[in-house]
């Protein structure tokens, strides 16, 4: 029979386990715990004891929320059920962002459309205040019929956007060729819904039909396996690989690359890296580096 641990040894082991467990922000217990409603008054609601959040848009105002925590690297998951029916003119944004004129940002935006037409998924990456890195896709399902998972993997190696586990975009860290990469500024999670009928649907040709208001997007199953940032320090400590953060070094494997190629070949409708009219002096360096 093995000897029992002394009290001091047991306490030390418990402290080590607690330290490892605290290096990553745990899965959220509820929207009440992890998010603040920031605008829109009663148009934004937390329901079902914190398991469900809804944002609504009417002719007077949209609404929005943000995370209470800031994060510097992580795997962020959220399930969204987008505005059903005629959503033309509306935009639902779900993104990470820091603050200031040289902010970093990682964007999912969902551009509404007429009933029966597919939503446009708009993605963008800002680093040190510079964006203009848009890729757009037609979703291959009705995102208003049920909840679907939209995920952002962000680590020192790159950023991967995924939909229901399928990678749709990868933005690699290419600082070695002079491309700024978001790695130093902690970001909050934000989401909002607003009217953008001057541009959102067919370049502004289709306007918002206010007889269909309110327009509502729903959120569920938020999860953040991430390093939170507070008082100038990361919860992951000095070693970003500590605490079992397997996502910290994760990259797309061969299967993930093939699945992303399928999305690009069948569902991509815009890629800034192929828009020669925007770059008459030559494409940005990241486009040249990733060109096949």
Tens-place pLDDT, residues 114-123: 988 999 999 9
pLDDT at 8: 46
- Is 109 an annotated catalytic residue? yes
Whether 14 shows a pLDDT value over 80: the answer reads: no
Q: How confident is the model at residue 13 (pLDDT cuts 50, 70, 90)?
A: very low
Cα(250)–Cα(40) distance, rounded to whole angstroms? 37
Q: How confident is the model at residue 200 (pLDDT cuts 50, 70, 90)?
A: confident
Average model confidence (pLDDT) for the chain? 89
Q: How confident is the model at residue 21 (pLDDT cuts 50, 70, 90)?
A: very low
Q: Could you give the residue ranges of the DSSP H alpha helices within the chain? A: 7-21, 31-34, 254-267, 285-290
Separation in Å, CA 160 to CA 13, 45, 58, 136, 176 = 36, 29, 33, 14, 19
Choice among 109, 170, 198, 286 that is catalytic: 109
pLDDT at 238: 60
Please say whether the beta carbons of 159 and 170 come within 8 A. Answer: yes
pLDDT at 239: 54
Q: Lowest-pLDDT range, 107-116, 133-142, 242-251?
A: 242-251
The C-alpha torsion from 173 through 179 and 180 to 181, rounded to 10°, is -10
pLDDT at 62: 98
pTM equals 0.88
Which has the closest alpha carbon to 108: 154, 146, 175, 70? 154
Which phi and psi angles does 219 have, rounded to 5°? -130, 145
Q: How confident is the model at residue 189 (pLDDT cuts 50, 70, 90)?
A: very high
Choice among 70, 105, 170, 286 that is catalytic: 105
Q: How confident is the model at residue 137 (pLDDT cuts 50, 70, 90)?
A: very high
Q: How confident is the model at residue 237 (pLDDT cuts 50, 70, 90)?
A: confident
Whether 6 shows a pLDDT value over 70: the answer reads: no
Domain edges within the chain: 31-231+248-287
Average pLDDT of span 171-188: 96
- Percent of the chain at pLDDT > 90 equals 79
Q: Per residue in 73-82, pLDDT tens?
A: 999 999 999 9
Please say whether the beta carbons of 37 and 65 come within 8 A. Answer: yes
Q: Lowest-pLDDT range, 113-122, 209-218, 267-276?
A: 113-122
CATH (residue range 31-231+248-287): 2.60.120.200
pLDDT at 116: 83
- Is 105 an annotated catalytic residue? yes
Cα(139)–Cα(132) distance, rounded to whole angstroms? 21
Whether 266 shows a pLDDT value over 70: the answer reads: yes
Whether 136 shows a pLDDT value over 60: the answer reads: yes
Whether 41 shows a pLDDT value over 70: the answer reads: yes
Burial label for 256, CB within 10 Å (0-12, 13-18, 19+), is middle
Cα(223)–Cα(21) distance, rounded to whole angstroms? 16
Q: How confident is the model at residue 203 (pLDDT cuts 50, 70, 90)?
A: confident
pLDDT at 290: 80
- Percent of the chain at pLDDT > 70 equals 87
pLDDT at 20: 38
Whether 130 shows a pLDDT value over 60: the answer reads: yes
pLDDT at 240: 53
């Amino acid at each position: 029979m093995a000897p029992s641990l002394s009290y001091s040894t047991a306490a030390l082991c418990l402290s080590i386990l607690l330290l490892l467990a605290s290096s990553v922000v745990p899965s959220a217990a509820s929207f009440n715990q992890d998010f603040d409603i920031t605008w829109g008054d009663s148009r934004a609601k937390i329901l079902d004891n914190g398991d469900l959040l809804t944002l609504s848009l009417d002719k007077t105002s949209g609404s929005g929320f943000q995370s209470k925590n800031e994060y510097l690297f992580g795997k962020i998951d959220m399930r969204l059920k987008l505005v059903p029916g005629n959503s033309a003119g509306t935009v639902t944004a779900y993104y990470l962002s820091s603050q200031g004129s040289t902010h970093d940002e990682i964007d999912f935006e969902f551009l509404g459309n007429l009933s029966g037409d597919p939503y446009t998924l708009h993605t963008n990456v800002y680093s040190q205040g510079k964006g203009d890195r848009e890729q757009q896709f037609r979703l291959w399902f009705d995102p208003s019929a049920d909840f679907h998972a939209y995920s952002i993997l962000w680590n020192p190696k790159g950023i991967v956007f995924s939909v229901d586990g399928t990678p749709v975009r990868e933005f690699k860290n290419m600082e070695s060729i002079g491309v700024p990469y978001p790695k130093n500024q902690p970001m909050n999670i934000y989401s909002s819904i607003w009217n953008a009928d001057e541009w959102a649907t067919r370049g502004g040709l289709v306007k918002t039909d206010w007889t269909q208001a309110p327009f509502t997007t729903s959120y569920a199953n938020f999860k953040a396996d991430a390093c939170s940032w507070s008082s100038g320090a990361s919860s992951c400590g000095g070693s970003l690989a500590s605490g079992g953060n397997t996502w910290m070094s994760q990259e797309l494997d061969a299967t993930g690359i093939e699945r992303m190629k399928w999305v690009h070949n069948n569902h991509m409708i815009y890629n800034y890296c192929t828009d020669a009219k925007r770059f008459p002096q030559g494409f940005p360096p990241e486009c040249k580096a990733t060109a096949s």
